[in-house]
Structure formats: C-alpha cells, structure tokens
Chain A
C-alpha cells in the first residue's frame, strides 16, 4: 500500500514537472535559416583553395585519409592542382594542416546542400571560389551561444 502511494506521488510530481516546462518553456532551438550560430575559431567547415599560393606539391592529396582530395593535371602541365570530392571528405583538416604554403583553409561554412551528387565533386577552379553560406546570403542573423546557469543554453545576437 505504502509502495502504491509513493508511486502515485511520484506520478503527480512527474506531471507537475512537465506542466512547469509547458507553462514556462525553455526553448533552445535555433531558428536556423533566420538565425545562424557563430562558430568558434578553428572550426572545420568547407575547404577554400587559394591557387595563387599553391606550389602544386600534391601533399594534400597524399595525406587525405578519405581519398577525397585529388590532383587534376591540365594538358601540357606537369603538375596538377587539387580538387575535392565532398561525397568522401570527412572534414579532418589534414590537407589544410599539411599544406606548406597555407593554400588550403578550413572555412566556417558548413550549411551547404547539393542537389546532385555530381555537384559535390569540385574541380580546382570551383574549389578556388569563395565559399558562401546560403543562410547568410539570405540575411540570417548571427547568434552566439552562451551558457547560463538557470536556462542552460541561451542564444544572443553576435
């Protein structure tokens, strides 16, 4: 009997806790296409290639553990330039680390979607283009995450 009463009290407490959250909601969701979390320094997003710095050594393609980076050799040239296949890329950042000229850079953009699988394979020319976040292009507001003791995660305009 005592057991039953204890469990009944437990149920009432659980419902009360639920009701408290229902009446005082504490939403942590970021309204993504309108708001975008500002990412920390050193974030490993899509890779940007600077062809003018590149010495075409091919170390990036050699170190790539996923086989995503590949050297494209043009006709008449002896050495190639890197292109990336984002179907394979695991965003480990080894290519940017090993590059002796810092010709590869990990950007903070990661919210890009492709319509076709073929679009995910970037040639050196496409690889050299500036990487743009579609959400930011459409006027998303950047927010930063702050940890608060009472509310957990809070998002404030950056």
Chain B
C-alpha cells in the first residue's frame, strides 16, 4: 500500500511539467538527441550539396547516423588538458556556466498547451535573457584560456553579441506587440495565421539574429576554424571541447523552438495524442523546430564566412533598422487586423 503510493508519487513527479519538460522534452534528453542527429544531418546536407557522401561507415545501413555518437565517445576518452598559462579555476568553471546558460531557456519554453515548467507573462523575455547570458560565459572561457587565439575569439564573441542582441530583442518585441503578450503559450493561441505571415519582416530579422547568435555559417566568426582555430574553445580538449561545440547547437535548438512558437504557430494543429499525455502534443512543435534547424544547418553549404566588420555592419545598418521597421509594421497590423 505504502509502496504503491510512493511509486505513484514518483511517477507523478517525473511526469509533471516541472521535471519532465526540462529533463526529457524539450529539455536535456531531447536536446542531446537533437545534438547527435543535427550535427550528422549538417554534415550530410553539406556533403549532398557539395557532391560528396559525408559520414558513412558508422552504421552504414542508416547512412552513418551514429557518427556523432562515435565522435562523442572519442571525446569522452580524450585527455582533458588544463594549460599551464590558464586561469585554472575559471578555465574549468566557464564551460559549466556556458552550458547552464544554454540549458536555462528550456525552463520558459512551453512544449504543449499548459505544459511549461515556468509559466510567466514574460516567458519570451526569460528565454532571451538566459540565452544572452551564454556569450558572457564564452567570453570567460576565452579570457581564462590565456591564449591569443582564445582571447581574439572572445572579443569577436563580444562584438557579435552587440550585432545581434538588439535585433533579436526588437523582433520579439514586435511579435509581443502584435499578440499583445510576451507569454509564449498565449502567443500561440493568438496566432490566427502563423506569425511568419503576420509579420514577415520580424520573422526575417529574428531568423538572421538567430543564425548570428548560434554562430552558424555565414556568421561562425567566433569559431573561425580557418582563422583562429575554434576561437574561445581552442585550449579546451576532450569532452569539454565537445561541450563548446554543442553549445552553439543548444542555443540554436532553443532559438528554433522560440521561432516555431512565435512565427510558425507552435504546436498547432494540436495532435490528438495530446489527450494521452500533454507533451506528446508538442511533437508538432518539435518537428517544426527541427525543420528550422535543418534549414540553418543547410545554410552552411551555401555561404562562406563573413568578416567581423561585415557582420557588425549588417547587424547595425541593415537588420537593426529592419527590426525597428518590423515593430512599426506590427503596430500597423495590430491596428488594421486586430482592431
């Protein structure tokens, strides 16, 4: 009797949004699966466009889908070297901080109607605020490494943050104005048609800001593999380097979820699975977010890297005015369509 009660209590705890959402979906476990598959998908897509085959020999029958698992295992068994010249405490602490900042947004992202760990009228701001904390940790990573490439990468990260932060915040503000709320769940309900069609300018600027923030091509200026060999992550080795690499994809995942909620009407149309268990209704949201991520991964095969000054110029001279225009456009649509 007592045992049954305990079991039910544990099950209820595990399936409650406060535990299930950050740990399983859309949180850690899903993020890990996304991480493992999106990197493979990115390599495969780039290979297809460039007339190659891409990763193949790990699980050949499935096109090498387990390649990243094999790479991750290799990272696990590599030595983690702490350089003599680094600031050792911060050197070890910074990646942990960065990872924590990248995982934090999942606390605010609702996976399905009524299924968010933290339901707050300012949830959209919460996601953005925690996401914009990650660059600070990256800055710390680069600074504590005590390596000139790492410091250069860290400074680039700071510059890039200046380029996209205002754009992303303004784009979300435009959508907040349009929906009359910054609560992400409410935002989905208020989309009569997807936000992408309601305010395409905001969707475009948010998308570009997202690509800049996640450091994907054409804006992988921070890592700049060919110029500054992985930038802030240059001194990291083993699994911690894997964390540095996964960080960008985690941010991209969080941003894609936000993009799907704000511009692609989130989990609508709601699957009938929702009545079985609420997060299953969020499957639609996941599919949309994954498609957005695949498109961002695809950009890698089209573009080369912009220079830092080009990215900054684009951020301030083109995308900031566009984001401001999107706020104006939102006001216009609000008056015309919503009355």
A interface residues, Cβ below 8 angstroms from B: 4, 14-15, 17-19, 21-22, 25-29, 31, 152
The stretch of B20-28, B296-304, B328-336 in contact with A is B296-304
B51 located at the interface, meaning its Cβ lies under 8 Å from any Cβ of chain A in the complex: yes
Given A21-B48, A22-B45, A25-B48, A31:B302 Cβ within 8 A? no
Shortest distance from the beta carbon of A127 to any chain B beta carbon, whole Å: 34
Contact B51 A14 (CB under 8 A): no
Contact A22 B52 (CB under 8 A): no
B53 located at the interface, meaning its Cβ lies under 8 Å from any Cβ of chain A in the complex: yes
Contact A15 B53 (CB under 8 A): no
Given A22-B45, A22-B48, A29:B53 Cβ within 8 A? yes
Name the B residues within 8 Å of A19 (CB-CB): 298
Q: Which residue of A lies closest to B322 (CB)?
A: A4
CA distance A4 to B314 in the complex (A): 11
- Among B50, B52, B303, B318: residue with most chain A CB under 10 A: B50
Name the B residues within 8 Å of A26 (CB-CB): 51
Name the A residues within 8 Å of B298 (CB-CB): 18-19, 22
Q: B52's contact among A4, A14, A18, A29, by CB below 8 Å, is which?
A: A29
Name the A residues within 8 Å of B76 (CB-CB): none
Name the A residues within 8 Å of B48 (CB-CB): 21-22, 25, 27
Contact A27 B51 (CB under 8 A): yes
CA distance A4 to B301 in the complex (A): 23
CA distance A152 to B50 in the complex (A): 13
Contact A25 B51 (CB under 8 A): yes
CA distance A90 to B228 in the complex (A): 35
Contact B302 A18 (CB under 8 A): yes
CA distance A31 to B60 in the complex (A): 12
Name the A residues within 8 Å of B53 (CB-CB): 27, 29, 31
Contact A14 B49 (CB under 8 A): no
Contact A18 B301 (CB under 8 A): yes
Q: CB within 8 Å of A: which of B11-67?
A: 45, 48-53
Name the B residues within 8 Å of A31 (CB-CB): 53
CA distance A152 to B49 in the complex (A): 14
Q: Which residue of B lies closest to A31 (CB)?
A: B53
26 A/B residue pairs, CB under 8 Å, sorted by A: A15-B299, A18-B49, A18-B298, A18-B301, A18-B302, A19-B298, A21-B48, A21-B49, A21-B50, A21-B51, A21-B301, A22-B45, A22-B49, A22-B298, A22-B301, A25-B48, A25-B49, A25-B51, A27-B48, A27-B51, A27-B53, A28-B52, A29-B51, A29-B52, A29-B53, A31-B53
